Every structure is written in structure tokens, then in C-alpha cells.
Structure 1
Amino acid sequence: MKMKPVFYVCCLVFLFACKGKRKDSAAGQETRTSGSMKILVDESVAPIVQQQIDIFSLDYPNAHIIPVVRPEEKLLPAFLNDTIRVIVLPRLLTKEEEKYYQQRNIRINSSRFAVDGIALITNKDNTDSTITVKELVDALQGKASNKKFVFDNVYSSTFQYLKTLAKVSQLPASGVFAKENSDQVIHLVSKNKDYIGILGVNWLSDRNLKMKDALSTVKLMGVKNFPGKVGDDQFYKPTQNNLISGNYPLLRNVNIIDCEGTDGLGTGFAVWLRSQRGQLVVLKSNLAPHKMMPRVLNYEK
């Protein structure tokens, strides 16, 4: 008989716990570490973002982030039309693009979490392994060149970056071509030593297992900047050290831009990207992290 009150109390506690759990589940409230959302991801930096999502999901199993990967110009309509409010770009929004959210009094939170480089690759059988930024710009401006260049996509952020650099609005009539994605660029260069491929350096990682054989037949080119610019003293490859030091001429920041207007999963993922764990993922991907994390050494007595 003495056990009955204890039994009833335990039952009540269990019922209230279950009720509270059902209520939270039904509400489906999104937090910094739980919920489901889509994010827009520029194709040229898709590998590093997917790696980050994979590790974030391991840390927070109740968080489900679905990347929508497309070239930059194909992403922006969905972002500016308020279809998806979180985007990863290797640049910041322009003043005109910011107006779409400012007019609705929605705060724009932009965070850099990595430094990327635009890589130039050539076939390993090509004896020429260096190029200047001036040579690249001249070709984009339609000036005579004995080199042929191929981009990842005519709508890509890579092409937008170099169009701005060369101050042109479109591809020249000859000498510069575009494929549909970065893997196609790697495949073309691996089979043809007459082309120089232009793509985000993240696609050249050994994690790109699908292109392992093709990657074994291409090499990075050294790039020298315009006189008077950083990186004008020698030819630099987009190695991690040169991205970190800033010596590689064709650098760009990778940013997550969150316009959710709430302290939800987008905010949580953005904060995590700049955390020690997120920055270690960047470091292992051979890109440059937003900031170098201090090493903690444990000494056993």
C-alpha cells in the first residue's frame, strides 16, 4: 500500500512529460540547432558547404539543411524573391540586391567563413604552367592570345568575378568558352592540353572522388598579379598557404548571408561555420579559414 502514492506520482510525471514533448513536436519550432531549411549555394563553392553541412548534421541530428546548388545568377532570383532566405556566395550582396530586404525592414546578416581562390588548371603534358593576370584579362577583353580558356558556367560567380576584373559584360567571340559545371571543366582539361580551365579551387580537392582520375592528369598554374599589386613578385599557386597569406592574386571571400529575420537554424549554422569546429573543416578542405584557430596542446604529467 505504501508504494501506491509513489506509483501515482511517477505516472503523473510521465504523462506531463509526454504531453510537453508532443506539444513541442507539434509546434515544430525551429531553433539554432534543430529544424529544417533550404539554403542556396553557389556551385563554385558547393564542396566546402556540403562538407560543413555533413559535420553540422552529425553535431546536431535534429537539424536538416538542404542545399540548393546552382550557378550564382540562377540562385539570386530565388533569394531576392524571398523563396529561400539563406545563401552562400563568394561575394557580398550589392547595394541594389540589399534593397530587396531593406525595403521590408528585414535585417541582412553576412558572415565570412572562408577564403577561396579562383584556380587556373592545365593538362600535365602542357609545358606552360604559368600565367599573368594581364594575360587572362587581355583574353577576356578579346585581345589576341595563343591560349584558350574554359569556365565552369557562363552564369557562375567565377565568370562574374573575372568579368568585373576585366571590365567586360560578355564572353569574347573566340578564345574563351564555358561549360555547364566545374567537373566538365576538369574533364576537358584532363583530355586536352590546349585549354586552361578556370574554376573554384575547392573543386580540385582530393575529396572530389568522382573526378579522381581526371584530377591526376591536370596541374595548377602559377599566377602573377599586375605590377604594384599583392602577388606581383612571382607566380603563385592557389595553395592553402598562399590563400592564407593573401599572396595569390585571384582571391575571394566565401560568405553566408542570412535574411531569415529570426534567430533560427540559419543563424545557428552561420555561427557554427565561424566556430572552431567549422573553421577546422575549412582548414582540412585546403581553403583558408576566416581566422586561424589557436592550437591547444595537452601535456600529460
Structure 2
Amino acid sequence: MRHLLFGLLACVIVLGSCKENKQKETTGSLVMLVDESFMPIVEDEVIVFQNIYKTAKIDARYMNERAVINGLLSDSSSIGITSRRLTRQEAGILEKRNYKIRENRVAVDAVALIANGSSRDTTISVQEIVDILQGKPSARQLVFDNPNSSIVRYLMELANIKVLPSKGVYALQTNSEVIKYVHNNKGAIGVISYNWVRQPTVELEPLVATLKVMAVKGLPGKPGSDKYYRPNQDNLALEQYPLSRNMYIINYHGGGLGLGFSAFLAGDVGQRVILKSGLLPDSIPPREIIIRK
């Protein structure tokens, strides 16, 4: 939940205030394009970063994945957060402009499936999800965040399809809208980022508290195929949850605040914020234990 951030924030501010950093990497302003499904964790990271570096201003703009990629390629911004790396063709467009691309994985997220609190649905298999996406008859209805979202792309690649079927699938605009829709519709199964389950906005907290997070069984021979697993930090770390995905920060600016924020996300403090959020950090921050006699 979002209020859990403040305990970590207090500790971080104490550490950050011990020395003043006047380098270019921690001053100035920038526009950052962010996959909307990662909004809760990115908001937390920006809050912590700006509280440490008072002269830094990050304008995070949240949108679907396709809009993020298009924005990077059109020079709307030189930094973005997505669930995938640039393709070879996309990278080639930037490299022709003599840009050096830096892509760093900073966390592992999960694609979570949620059901109405009064629904009997508690489990679902990846095969069932694939069947629905391939247009096969099903009593279940999947509700996505946006037709151009990273989650839709991820599952379409999994199901090996080019277009969504006309039945059994419904796309809204945001993860927030999916949560509200599932809360109000008993038969719907929402497909959202686990990030939104762990850290909903204040407005959505009471709604999320009433929803069921479904356990998922993987495809035969794939991770999580032995039983049903719920999305959580342990199952992500053990690679047992079958619908995991990465979170990347892409930066093609030569230096400055974009490079500084990228380094912050990958560094100790940024990774601790991710650990506290319930997602899986790219590198687990070490814990120091003091033993007294």
C-alpha cells in the first residue's frame, strides 16, 4: 500500500541529506515516458529521488506501451520505462541519429488476474487464457487495460495471435478502469499489473481489498506447470509464477538527469523501493545484521 512508502522514505532522506550532490545527474528537469501499468512503483521512485535531490524535477507522463515507444523514437523524450527492450529495428532508428542506447532491467513484475470478491473464480490456467485469446468458446471474460498496452502485447505473443478476438475479450484504457470494472461486474476477470494490486491509489485501495487475486497454472513444461501459483515476491524470485515480465528503463541521452535517475533505479536505494513495493528487484539489496553479545 502507498502509505508503506513513507517509512522507507524517512530513512532514505536521512541518508541522502548527509551529502549534497551538485552533479548534472541529479539536477535539472526532464520528461520521462512511462508505461501506465508501472505507474504506482514509478511514482514512488520519483518521490524518493526528488526528496533526496531537491534540485531535480521529473515529469513522468503515463501512457500505453505503444505510445511510450513511439515517443522515444520521435524524440519526445530520451528516457522511458517499459516492459520490453527496443526491437532491433527500433534501436536502429535511434542509432542512425548517433544515439547510444542504454537499457537496464530494474525489476520483475507479474501479470495478475483479478476477480470480483463474490466470484467463485480463484484459479485459472495459462492454457485457458490462451484459448480465450485464440477465440475458443469460454464462459470467462477477460478485461484488459488498453488494446495498445504492454500486457495485451505480452499475452498476444504468448497466444501467438495478431489481433484480439471479438468475443471473450474486452479492452478499456487503464489499469485503474479494469479494477473498477471488475469490482462492479461479477463475471469479469481483470488482467492488470501486479504493481496495481500491491500499490493501488488511495481511491482504489478499498476496491482492491475486495477483489480476489487468482492463482495461475503454467503451460506444460513451462514455469509453474506443477500447480497453481499466486503472484508474489517469493514466486517471482523462484520463477514459479508463469506470467512474469520485466521492467526496463531505456535511456539514450548522453548524460544528465536521465542517466542519474537510471543509475538511481538500479542502485541500492532504488532497488530497496522496489523490494518494499512487493515486486522483485533486479538485484536484491543486501541486509546487514548486527550481532551483539
Alignment TM-score > 0.5, same fold: yes
1:215 aligned to which of 194, 197, 208: 208
> Could you say which residue in structure 2 is the equivalent of 1:115?
108
Secondary structure of 2:108's match? strand
2:283 aligned to which of 282, 291, 296: 291
- Whole-angstrom CA distance in 2 between matches of 1:30 and 1:291: 25
- Whole-angstrom CA distance in 1 between matches of 2:200 and 2:186: 24
Alignment of 1:199-214 (within 5 A): 199-214=192-207
> Could you say which residue in structure 2 is the equivalent of 1:196?
189
> Could you say which residue in structure 2 is the equivalent of 1:130?
123
Alignment of 1:150-229 (within 5 A): 150-229=143-222
After superposition, the C-alpha distances for 1:261-289 in whole angstroms (9 at most, x for unaligned) are x2211111111111111111001111000
Partner amino acid, structure 1, of 2:260: G
Secondary structure of 1:56's match? helix
Question: Quick check: 1:38–1:66 contact (8 Å CA) kept in 2?
Answer: yes
Secondary structure of 1:64's match? strand
Offset at 1:298?
Answer: 3.0
Question: Quick check: 2:40–2:199 contact (8 Å CA) kept in 1?
Answer: no
Does 1:67 find its partner at 2:60? yes
RMSD of Structure 2 on Structure 1 (CA): 1.4
Offset at 1:75?
Answer: 2.0
Aligned pair count? Answer: 272
- Whole-angstrom CA distance in 1 between matches of 2:35 and 2:248: 10
Secondary structure of 1:93's match? coil
Unaligned 5+ residue runs, structure 2? Answer: 1-21
Partner amino acid, structure 2, of 1:275: G
Does 1:244 find its partner at 2:237? yes
After superposition, the C-alpha distances for 1:35-93 in whole angstroms (9 at most, x for unaligned) are 11011000011111111010000111111111011001122222101121101001111
- Whole-angstrom CA distance in 2 between matches of 1:84 and 1:206: 26
Secondary structure of 2:204's match? helix
Secondary structure of 2:112's match? strand
Higher CA-based Rg: 1
TM-score, normalization: structure 2? 0.90
> Could you say which residue in structure 2 is the equivalent of 1:265?
257
Question: Quick check: 2:68–2:82 contact (8 Å CA) kept in 1?
Answer: no
- Whole-angstrom CA distance in 2 between matches of 1:298 and 1:273: 27
Secondary structure of 2:139's match? coil
Does 1:48 find its partner at 2:41? yes
Partner amino acid, structure 1, of 2:191: I
Offset at 1:170?
Answer: 1.6
Offset at 1:30?
Answer: 7.5
Offset at 1:205?
Answer: 2.0
- Residues 276, 70 of structure 1: alpha-carbon distance in 2 compared, 3 angstrom cutoff: same
- Residues 130, 60 of structure 1: alpha-carbon distance in 2 compared, 3 angstrom cutoff: same
Offset at 1:127?
Answer: 1.5
After superposition, the C-alpha distances for 1:153-198 in whole angstroms (9 at most, x for unaligned) are 1111111111111111221011100111111111111121200000
Offset at 1:230?
Answer: 1.2
> Could you say which residue in structure 2 is the equivalent of 1:280?
272
Offset at 1:295?
Answer: 0.5
Question: Quick check: 1:171–1:177 contact (8 Å CA) kept in 2?
Answer: no
Secondary structure of 1:209's match? coil
Question: Quick check: 1:30–1:36 contact (8 Å CA) kept in 2?
Answer: no
- Residues 176, 207 of structure 1: alpha-carbon distance in 2 compared, 3 angstrom cutoff: closer
Offset at 1:206?
Answer: 4.3
Offset at 1:207?
Answer: 4.7
Question: Quick check: 2:200–2:208 contact (8 Å CA) kept in 1?
Answer: no
Question: Quick check: 2:215–2:229 contact (8 Å CA) kept in 1?
Answer: yes
Secondary structure of 1:32's match? helix
Secondary structure of 2:93's match? helix
